[in-house]
């Protein structure tokens, strides 16, 4: 169960109170845990403590902090995703709405939370998800720099209208594009197909690609959580030589309404998996084909020649475009919750 502790720390309010300097924009930090807060031996810093350790923030923003949870990111749940997105929506609609949001989060599943928020949070105010590769008390801890940079990006005019992004190691990534591609290095995050979206350099924040509509239009979230029902079960099936039908059958027996194939090459699976996937599809399960290579597209009609193919263009068989399996799972889950038809789901995967 997550604990919600009311915003407790405000940094950066002094200059406004003196009436001299311009009022700084407000950035709201939602701290969820992860290595950025980890001190080892089950001890964790709070969001307040993380912010208090970075006095430079006081010149950039009025930072308010909320302790949403304090867990390793493997313990983040889909219910927490829903609560987080709804919390941001409530803040957006409330008084003194923040100019931007920063979520501190464990890096292991950061890309999933960021993508979920990217699909469910609209508005003009950017959402930056950040964390750390080195724990809070490590020599050369990267958390403070990441947090400082995330706040800088959150207040950058050029970030408006860009939705949810990840900030790690001075690099800005779009939520759809980013993945953790190394277990331990400081540059563990990458965007294999689309590339880095921008940089938080010491002198300025730069973006390499224009914001949608030049940043003039606020985003409408692709999915409206207010109207979505329960999230259906969607499982990932990993393809490899020797894989049989067991995982597919178990997932269907457990009630999966969608399956994502982490396929070989351009989305292939073994003959045994392929037969089980066709049976699942015949029972109404939507099968989205992704791949285990780490980059590259799988279209709705194209799968690898190397192993068994699912028939191209079959009603409930869609390609995941360049989305990796863990991200394809989120999009398929939301699309099924929103009751999209398979043909529309196929199109949805292609919408950037």
Active-site annotation, residues = 35
Choose which of 25, 122, 131, 198 interacts with ligand ASP (CB under 6 A).
131
Phi, psi (deg, nearest 5) at residue 138:
-80, 150
3-class state of residue 180 by DSSP: strand
Choose which of 24, 35, 198, 328 interacts with ligand ASP (CB under 6 A).
35
Residues for the chain: how many in total? 352
Choose which of 64, 107, 273, 289 interacts with ligand ASP (CB under 6 A).
107
Q: How far is the CB of 35 from ligand ASP (least distance, A)?
A: 3
Please tell me whether residue 198 binds ligand ASP under the rule CB under 6 A.
Answer: no
Q: How far is the CB of 133 from ligand ASP (least distance, A)?
A: 6
Q: Which helix (H) or strand (E) holds 120?
A: helix 110-120
- Residue 288 and residue 261 in contact, taking contact as beta carbons nearer than 8 Å: yes
Please tell me whether residue 47 binds ligand ASP under the rule CB under 6 A.
Answer: no
User: What token pair was written down for 312?
Assistant: 């191209």
State the Rg of the chain over Cα.
21
Give the burial class of 163: count Cβ atoms within 10 A of its Cβ; 0-12 exposed, 13-18 middle, 19 or more buried: buried
- Residue 189 and residue 181 in contact, taking contact as beta carbons nearer than 8 Å: yes
Please tell me whether residue 130 binds ligand ASP under the rule CB under 6 A.
Answer: no
Choose which of 34, 98, 163, 267 interacts with ligand ASP (CB under 6 A).
34
For ligand ASP, which stretch binds (CB under 6 A), given 104-112, 163-171, 235-243, 257-265?
Answer: 104-112
For ligand ASP, which stretch binds (CB under 6 A), given 10-18, 58-66, 105-113, 330-338?
Answer: 105-113
Residue whose tokens read 């750390």:
132
Please tell me whether residue 49 binds ligand ASP under the rule CB under 6 A.
Answer: no
Cα gap 300→218, rounded to integer Å: 30
Residue 205's Cα: distance from chain center in Å?
21
Q: How far is the CB of 33 from ligand ASP (least distance, A)?
A: 6
Q: How far is the CB of 74 from ligand ASP (least distance, A)?
A: 6
Q: Which residue is nearest to ligand ASP (CB)?
A: 106
3-class state of residue 341 by DSSP: coil
Between 111 and 235, CB nearer to ligand ASP: 111
Here's the x/- map for ligand ASP, 64-83, by CB under 6 A: it reads as --------xx----------
Please tell me whether residue 113 binds ligand ASP under the rule CB under 6 A.
Answer: no
Cα gap 333→82, rounded to integer Å: 13
Cα distances (angstroms) measured from residue 53 to each of 9, 57, 147, 201: 12, 9, 10, 21
Q: How far is the CB of 108 from ligand ASP (least distance, A)?
A: 3
Cα distances (angstroms) measured from residue 307 to each of 76, 266, 285, 294: 35, 10, 21, 18
Between 83 and 108, CB nearer to ligand ASP: 108
Applying CB under 6 A, the residues found at the interface with ligand ASP are 34-35, 72-73, 106-108, 131, 133
């Amino acid at each position: 169960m997550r604990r919600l502790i009311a915003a407790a720390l405000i940094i950066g309010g002094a200059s406004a109170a003196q009436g001299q300097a311009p009022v700084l924009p407000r950035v709201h930090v939602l701290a969820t845990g992860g290595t950025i807060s980890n001190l080892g031996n089950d001890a964790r810093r709070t969001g307040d403590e993380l912010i208090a350790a970075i006095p430079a923030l006081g010149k950039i923003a009025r930072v308010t902090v909320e302790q949403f949870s304090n867990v390793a990111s493997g313990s983040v749940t889909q219910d927490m995703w829903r609560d987080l997105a709804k919390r941001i929506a409530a803040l957006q609609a409330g008084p003194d709405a923040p100019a931007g949001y920063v979520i501190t989060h464990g890096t292991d599943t950061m890309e999933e939370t960021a993508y979920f928020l990217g699909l469910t949070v609209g508005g003009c105010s950017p959402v930056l998800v950040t964390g750390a590769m080195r724990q809070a008390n490590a020599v050369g801890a990267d958390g403070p720099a990441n947090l400082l940079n995330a706040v800088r990006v959150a207040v950058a005019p050029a970030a408006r209208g860009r939705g949810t992004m990840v900030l790690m190691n001075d690099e800005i990534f779009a939520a759809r594009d980013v993945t953790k591609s190394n277990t331990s290095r400081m540059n563990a995050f990458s965007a294999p197909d689309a590339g880095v979206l921008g940089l938080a350099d010491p002198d300025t924040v730069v973006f390499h690609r224009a914001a949608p509509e030049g940043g003039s239009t606020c985003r409408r979230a692709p999915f409206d959580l207010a109207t979505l029902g329960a999230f259906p079960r969607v499982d990932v099936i990993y393809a490899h030589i020797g894989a049989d039908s067991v995982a597919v059958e178990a997932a269907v027996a457990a009630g999966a309404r969608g399956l994502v194939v982490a396929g070989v090459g351009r989305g292939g699976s073994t003959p045994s998996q392929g037969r089980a996937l066709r049976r699942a599809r015949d029972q109404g399960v939507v099968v989205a084909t992704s791949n285990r290579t780490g980059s590259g597209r799988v279209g709705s009609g194209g799968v690898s020649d190397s192993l068994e193919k699912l028939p191209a263009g079959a009603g409930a068989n869609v390609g995941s475009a360049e989305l990796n399996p863990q991200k394809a799972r989120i999009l398929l889950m939301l699309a099924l919750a929103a009751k999209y038809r398979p043909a529309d789901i196929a199109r949805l995967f292609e919408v950037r």
